Amino acid sequence: MRKAGFVAVVVLLLASLTPAFGQIIPKLPDDPNARTAYADNLYPSARVCGECHPQQFAEWSMSSHAYAAVSPMFNKFEQRINDLARGTINSFCVRCHATVGTALGERRDTAWWDRAGSAQEGITCVTCHRVGEAYSKSNGARRITPGPISEPVFGPFDTTGVLKAISNAQLYKILVSGDQPDRPGYLRIHQQAIKSTVIQESELCVTCHQVQVHAGIKLETVWEEYRASPAFKEGTTCQECHMSPTPGQKVALIHGPAAVVNGMTVNDDRPISNHLFVGPGYPISHPGLFPIPLVKSRFTPQQWLKFDYRAKWGSDEFEANTGAVSFPPEWQNAADRKEAWGVVVANLARWEERRQLRIKLLEKGSKLDGPYFTSPLKTGQDLSFDYKLTNLNKGHNLPSGSLGAQPELWLNVALIDPDGKRIWESGYVDSRGDFADLQSRDVRERKISNVDPFKGQPLPFDAQLFSMGAKFITTNVKGTDREMYLPITLDVDQLPFIRPGGTPSSINNHPPNVRMEKHSIPPLATRTAHYKVPASKLTKPGKYRLAIRIRGRTEPMYFMDFVFATTDMERNENEWVADTHQYAVEFEMH
């Protein structure tokens, strides 16, 4: 009995570690073309779905879901944390960022461009629409039903559209059987669409939006924030806000055709969910690689990474004077450069559309009031004032994100004297774009800043910084608690190792010696920022101006430094910083 029980436990453990959570997937073929064909037969590409759902594909192709696997930040971080932990983390991040790759049993260190078929597409169509069972588990624990495009899909609405199309197969030019040979102009589609409550519920999202590592450290807490929110109490789901036609707000869906099959619409008056999933995230990849095109680019990812889009290769103005430029072999042909530049221009235009939606979301998600002066407006005295920031979002904190330090949201306040000089500031950034907290490299190294009014002096620590990011507080082998942006446990023998917690983390809600210190604002709550300008700065009577803005981005620059991000990644990150709620007030100092 004891031996049999041991064997049963081993079998259960092995089953829990298989890619599809109990389903054993045969080894992928070695030949790249055969591997892609094999993968496509099990997990069809979004490009196949896009043939009949062009609007949904266009929205998804620019989403953070589509970006999940191509993201250079994800790939850099996933490799860095495995290097630090000597491989003890293994397949963790990829379970959500490369869902099909996980189901196929691909190695976690497989390069993005070497992944098979839809494994390159991150959170792709089948990631959600082929999930029929409710798991309510975290860390990517879900099973994607394998099968060709003809297999059923799960959706939130009725199935009249697909039934109508299949019943008029000749009219719509549809192949209704897997045994039918391919015919020019004919499409293969899913033969059944099953209305599912699973895909309508927030529990579908929890598998990737509530994450903790093996030691019990929570890296993403969106789900628990939502469970404590007014939105949850009202019965509002994640989908009702994040797939709304108005980003971040629960409003009625627009109506339109469920599909367009060979130019003919099907079920013309069905609610249409928005698949862009507008949020604070954005792409920092090469613009030739993202968004994902409906027709695969003829240029390989390796070719794109050698295309200098910042120099505007292929543009008319650049090509008019290329005498001194040395091109790599892949881009010697001027016609290729011109074609590639056209793709980059189109993609950057879509990036700008996403930028505007992101700013709109951030503007509507919060309210900034003030200043409220709490001291006399007199020169020669300290000037104290407050601002009040309110989270208007009912669903989760402001901001809400992953990895503790991400995303960043902070206040930048500056005081300008009667002569137009900036005499005081909080929320300024250093030479690399980091605000001046303990993680700023310039603060740590006491480098000379080029940021006025501190020009010519070591950049000071910003003691009045109002930041809504989170940090991990750890107690290590030596010293007291300290801030860390990634809680890696370190052995005294200097071998980094992620190990299970020694006591149940559920008791303390965090493992021993590590906790997350949140500064985010709960739903519909208000937090006050207190500021004081020293009297030494206020020597001249007259009209002063106090300017403020909320600044935000997804990745801190110190974290990009930690993962060995490229220069272009860091430049893109700084270019995506959003400034919202910008205004200034004037007042007299006597």
- At position 497, the amino acid (one-letter code) is F
Residue 582 burial (CB count, 10 A) = 12
The DSSP-derived string for 338-407 is HHHHHHHHHHHHHHHHHHHHHHHHHHHTEEEEEEEE-S---TTS-EEEEEEEEE--SSS-BS--BTTT-S
Same domain assignment for residues 429 and 568: yes
Q: Is pLDDT of 373 > 90? A: yes
Same domain assignment for residues 372 and 358: no
Q: Is pLDDT of 341 > 90? A: yes
Alpha helix segments (H runs only) across 447-512: 505-508
398 domain residue, yes or no: yes
- At position 347, the amino acid (one-letter code) is N
* Among 111-120, 154-163, 197-206, 325-334, the least confident range: 154-163
Return the exposure string of 99-109: e unless at least 16 CB atoms fall within 10 Å of the residue's CB, then b. Answer: bbbbbbebebe
Same domain assignment for residues 170 and 216: yes
Q: Is pLDDT of 6 > 70? A: no
537: domain CATH number? 2.60.40.10
Mean per-residue pLDDT, 309-316: 96
Q: Is pLDDT of 371 > 50? A: yes
**For 380-419, what is each residue's pLDDT tens digit?**
999 999 999 999 999 999 998 665 557 889 999 999 999 9
- Domain end position, chosen among 335, 362, 389: 362
Q: Is pLDDT of 75 > 60? A: yes
Mean per-residue pLDDT, 441-470: 79
* Among 307-316, 322-331, 370-379, the least confident range: 322-331
Q: Is pLDDT of 503 > 70? A: no
Closest CA to 311 of 322, 300, 297: 322
The backbone region for 446, taken as left when phi is positive above 0, alpha when psi lies in -120 to 50, beta otherwise, is left
CA dihedral sign of residues 152, 157, 162, 164? positive
Q: Structure tokens of 516? A: 């997350």
Count of CA atoms in the C-beta half-sphere (13 A) of 403? 18
Comparing 164 with 66, the larger pLDDT belongs to: 66
**For 151-195, what is each residue's pLDDT tens digit?**
999 999 888 888 888 888 889 999 887 778 888 888 889 988 899
- Domain end position, chosen among 362, 378, 408: 362
User: HEC profile for 58-83?
Assistant: HHHHCCHHHHCCCCHHHHHHHHHHHH
Token pair 């900036």 is found at 422
Alpha helix segments (H runs only) across 473-565: 505-508, 557-562
Mean per-residue pLDDT, 322-341: 93
Contact between 122 and 67 (Cβ < 8 Å): yes
Per-residue confidence (pLDDT) for residue 221, from 0 to 100: 84
Same domain assignment for residues 345 and 445: no
482 domain residue, yes or no: no
Average model confidence (pLDDT) across the chain: 85
Comparing 531 with 443, the larger pLDDT belongs to: 531
pLDDT band at 97 (very low <50, low <70, confident <90, very high): very high
Same domain assignment for residues 324 and 411: no
In 3-state terms, what secondary structure has residue 271? strand
pLDDT band at 309 (very low <50, low <70, confident <90, very high): very high
Q: How far apart are CA 426 and CA 428, in angstroms?
A: 6
Same domain assignment for residues 450 and 422: yes
The pTM of this model reads 0.88
* Among 91-105, 115-129, 572-586, the least confident range: 91-105
Q: How far apart are CA 458 and CA 444, in angstroms?
A: 10
Q: Give burial (CB, 10 Å; 0-12/13-18/19+) of 465.
A: middle
Mean per-residue pLDDT, 566-587: 95
Mean per-residue pLDDT, 107-125: 92
Comparing 503 with 581, the larger pLDDT belongs to: 581
Same domain assignment for residues 183 and 237: yes
pLDDT band at 558 (very low <50, low <70, confident <90, very high): confident
> Which residues constitute the domain of residue 236?
18-272
Q: Is pLDDT of 589 > 60? A: yes
548 domain residue, yes or no: yes
143 domain residue, yes or no: yes
Same domain assignment for residues 261 and 229: yes
Residues linked to residue 188 through DSSP beta bridges, in sequence order:
175
500 domain residue, yes or no: no
pLDDT band at 535 (very low <50, low <70, confident <90, very high): very high
- Identify the top-confidence range among 42-46, 88-92, 101-105, 559-563: 42-46
Same domain assignment for residues 382 and 356: no
Cis upstream peptide for 407 (omega within 30°): yes
Per-residue confidence (pLDDT) for residue 483, from 0 to 100: 78
Q: Is pLDDT of 216 > 80? A: no
Comparing 454 with 367, the larger pLDDT belongs to: 367
CA dihedral sign of residues 173, 175, 181, 186? positive
**For 233-245, what is each residue's pLDDT tens digit?**
999 999 999 999 9
**For 482-496, what is each residue's pLDDT tens digit?**
777 666 654 445 555
Q: Is pLDDT of 13 > 50? A: no
Per-residue confidence (pLDDT) for residue 206, from 0 to 100: 86
Q: How far apart are CA 387 and CA 200, in angstroms?
A: 39
Same domain assignment for residues 380 and 356: no
Cα distances from 334 to residues 246, 263, 322, 330, in angstroms, run: 42, 36, 10, 11
pLDDT band at 458 (very low <50, low <70, confident <90, very high): confident
* Among 132-136, 207-211, 291-295, the least confident range: 132-136
Percent share of the chain, pLDDT over 70: 86
Q: Structure tokens of 558? A: 């110190």
- Domain end position, chosen among 347, 362, 377: 362
- Identify the top-confidence range among 36-40, 226-230, 546-550: 546-550
Per-residue confidence (pLDDT) for residue 165, from 0 to 100: 87
Same domain assignment for residues 133 and 231: yes
Per-residue confidence (pLDDT) for residue 348, from 0 to 100: 97
Q: How many domains, in total, are found in the chain?
A: 3
Q: How far apart are CA 99 and CA 458, in angstroms?
A: 47
The DSSP-derived string for 117-148 is GGGGGSS-HHHHHT--S----STT---PPP--
Per-residue confidence (pLDDT) for residue 34, from 0 to 100: 81
151 domain residue, yes or no: yes
Same domain assignment for residues 305 and 259: no
Per-residue confidence (pLDDT) for residue 424, from 0 to 100: 95
